[in-house]
């Protein structure tokens, strides 16, 4: 997950920025939903990236009609993270 985050933050994309950003957010969300103990130790390191991607959806060329609203995914991630003891 840390490597995936670093890849996204580097911004060195060809034509798959939207897919990569969407997959990252959805993977974080899935881990928090299905196995929070697995991801909880690194959530502090992921949250800034989750927020950055959510605030900059257009920079990732992720059409809301196709990928949904990244801000909504971020809100769900924040809520689950908080529910599992994260900040």
Model pTM score: 0.93
Helix segments in the chain, DSSP class H: 2-10, 17-34, 36-39, 43-55, 64-67, 70-83
Using one digit for the tens of pLDDT, what is the confidence trace for 13-71? 778 999 999 999 999 999 999 999 999 999 999 999 999 999 999 999 999 999 999 99
């Amino acid at each position: 997950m840390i490597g995936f985050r670093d890849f996204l933050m580097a911004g060195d994309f060809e034509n798959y920025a939207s897919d990569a950003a969407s997959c990252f957010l959805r993977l974080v969300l899935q881990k928090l939903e299905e196995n929070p103990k697995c991801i909880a130790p690194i959530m502090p390191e992921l949250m800034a990236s989750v927020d950055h991607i959510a605030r900059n959806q257009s920079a990732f060329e992720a059409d809301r009609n196709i990928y949904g609203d990244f801000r909504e995914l971020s809100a769900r991630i924040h809520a689950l993270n908080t529910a599992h003891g994260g900040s």
